Amino acid sequence: MKITLIGSGNVAWLLGKALQQAGHDIVAVYSPTAAHREALAQVLPPAKAVDSLDLRATGAELFVIAVPDAAIASVAAAVRVPDGAIVVHTSGSQPLAALQGIAGARPGVFYPLQTFSKSKPVDFSTTPILIEAEDEQTLQALQALASTISKEVHQVDSLKRRQLHLAAVFACNFTNHLLGISRQLLQQAALPDTLLQPLIQETIAKAMQNHPFLVQTGPAVRHDQNVIEEHLRLLQDQPLYQQVYQLLTQSIQDHSQKR
């Protein structure tokens, strides 16, 4: 497929490379900052850096909007594409409707479910790609495209993508925060930062192989009130962490009772 990239950040950079490696033609790169669009165009030859959102002359059939979520609406309002072109965004949290009103375009979503940093290569073949479109023909075009870079392509509508995003907040954002609290507690005790890493890795591996609720361990699920009270005492100068400890203990216990 002939593809134009809108944006030159983490996603444009890595997805652009993956699409090119799969044999697609990246014909143009638009991005507000000249140095950024030129740098990306240079690594994706023969892509041209372009400085206008009127992209009708780029010769592309597909336009990938990979800009911050908050900028998608303004790009959608300003962009011009040839009649019948497919225009997708790459966001997990924005609905398909965010691309309504691009004249002549067939809107779609092409969401790679992974966290990207320009500097770190990604294995796209195992990265789930979630696609959505208004009509069957567009959906099939996106399915065919996604299948050239990933073995895991799913059709997921906007409501389900929102539920998925909520699940990701628990599994990734909140989990990361707990790992941060844990690291801080190790530092407060003058223990090495890395001490818990083998245990964390094993915990995650177990939670992947089983339903996490079935392999829950620790004082909460054992209703070990002595240990729980001692832990709350150790947290007495950190009232917010104390509240987090209490609420998660309650949630674990609530869950184990229901089983």
Ligand X SMILES: NC(=O)c1ccc[n+]([C@@H]2O[C@H](COP(=O)([O-])OP(=O)(O)OC[C@H]3O[C@@H](n4cnc5c(N)ncnc54)[C@H](OP(=O)(O)O)[C@@H]3O)[C@@H](O)[C@H]2O)c1
Q: For the segment 59-118, give every residue that binds ligand X (CB under 6 A).
A: 66-69, 71, 74-75, 89-92, 112, 115-116
Q: Which does 1 bind (CB under 5 to 8 A by kind): a copy of itself, ligand X, none?
A: none
Both structure tokens of 36: 């950024």
In whole angstroms, how close is the CB of 18 to ligand X at the nearest point? 13
Residue 29 binds to ligand X (criterion: CB under 6 A)? no
Q: Which is nearer to ligand X, 89 or 106 (CB)?
A: 89
Among 196, 236, 237, 259, binds a copy of itself (CB under 8 A): 196
Beta strands (DSSP E) in the chain are 2-6, 25-30, 48-50, 62-65, 86-89, 106-112, 129-133, 153-155
Place of tokens 């216990």: 253
In whole angstroms, how close is the CB of 231 to a copy of itself at the nearest point? 5
State the DSSP H helix or E strand holding residue 243, giving kind and residue range, or none if neither: helix 239-258
Residue 182 binds to a copy of itself (criterion: CB under 8 A)? yes
How far is residue 27's CA from residue 227's CA, in Å, rounded to a whole number? Answer: 62
In whole angstroms, how close is the CB of 14 to a copy of itself at the nearest point? 13
How far is residue 7's CA from residue 65's CA, in Å, rounded to a whole number? Answer: 6
Which residues 5-24 are close enough to bind a copy of itself by CB under 8 A? none
Pairing of strands 62-65, 153-155: unpaired
Which residues 184-203 are close enough to bind ligand X by CB under 6 A? none
Spell out the residues 6+ positions from residue 71 whose beta carbon is closer than 8 angstroms to its own. none
Q: Which does 90 bind (CB under 5 to 8 A by kind): ligand X, a copy of itself, none?
A: ligand X
Residue 163 binds to a copy of itself (criterion: CB under 8 A)? yes
Q: Which DSSP string corresponds to 184-228?
A: HHHHHTT--TTTTHHHHHHHHHHHHHS-GGGG--STTTTT-HHHH
Among 10, 148, 175, 203, binds ligand X (CB under 6 A): 10
Q: Which does 138 bind (CB under 5 to 8 A by kind): ligand X, a copy of itself, none?
A: none
Q: Which does 67 bind (CB under 5 to 8 A by kind): a copy of itself, ligand X, none?
A: ligand X
How far is residue 9's CA from residue 39's CA, in Å, rounded to a whole number? Answer: 11
Side chain identity, residue 40: L
Q: Which stretches of the chain bind ligand X, using CB under 6 A?
A: 7-12, 31-33, 36, 66-69, 71, 74-75, 89-92, 112, 115-116
